[in-house]
Amino acid sequence: MVGNANRESQRDEICAVTSIFPEHIEVEAEHAVVLKFSQPIEIRLSIDLPQGYPNECPPSYSLSGPELSGPNREFLERQLNEAWNDSPYQPIIFTWANVIIEFLQDRHKPDDLRMEGGITELEDDSESPSTSQGSCSSTTMENKKHTIFHGESFTDRKSHFQAHLAPIKSEAEAREVMSQLLENGKVARATHNIYAFRVKETRKGREILLQDCEDDGETKAASKILEIMIRMEALNVIVVVSRWYGGIHLGPDRFRHINNLAREILTEHGYDKKSPK
């Protein structure tokens, strides 16, 4: 029965990714797809989904492209493998598509235009946010309309990262949380405040699911947080990850830190509905 569950998961994943990247995906067979990119260079990622994927084994893939040089091919293959290792036994096609998009953005610009997140970043001279010594639930914004929880700060090569989380009951409350969070001077001075939320609302007697995300200049980062929330089936919550840029480019590592902090604070507060109890 596990095999049937895997096949059903594969069909759902292909359907979802096709709706997100219709111009970049080609379904060759029921369990085989190709991700295709043509600008600024041509890249094809042929993916075969074995019966054990995703719950028992990774998919196999073949990477090709007439202009994809040896070092660039090795780098991209390494990024694809690391993406699976970061979140093993989870649907990976959406993530792999983003890995290729980021590769094309970061590696195929003139050197004087290459920058993180698609914008020029300046070193933030503010201090990093205070580091909580206990669990992330021990630090909150009090005396405000919404209770906002703060995770521990994380530093890599002078860039500081910190996650924030708040329960919400509506899309309007998600916007209110962001406004309240930005009243904090250190958060307001962050280079990026990346957020994603998912909430169920009742409108005109119907329950509807609303979800949205915002990169705040860190291109593709918010969609990764939203993807994590979807995988976890996290609902009625907003997650924000602040980054204070430290002057040193982190490349793909910045996304790993953002994803890990978002995942940790969601798990800490019981929003991971997919993990075993």
> Higher model confidence: residue 234 or residue 120?
234
- What are the start and end residues of each CATH 3.10.110.10 domain in the chain? 2-107
71-114 per-position pLDDT tens digit = 888 989 998 998 888 878 888 998 898 888 888 876 654 433 23
pLDDT averaged over the chain?
A: 82
The residue-averaged pLDDT of 180-192 equals: 92
Q: Helix, strand, or coil here: 210?
A: strand
Global confidence as pTM? 0.53
Q: What is the mean pLDDT of the segment spanning 164-187?
A: 94
Strand positions, DSSP E, 215-273: 237-244
Domain 117-268 sits in CATH 3.30.300.30: no
* Two tokens, residue 138: 């021990």
> What SS3 class is residue 228?
helix
Q: Which residue type does 206 have?
A: R
Quote the pLDDT of residue 114: 31
Lowest-pLDDT choice from 128-137, 188-197, 237-246: 128-137
**Mean pLDDT, to the nearest integer, of 240-257?**
89
Homologous superfamily of domain range 2-107: Ubiquitin Conjugating Enzyme (3.10.110.10)
Say whether pLDDT at 236 is over 70: yes
CA distance 141 to 164: 10
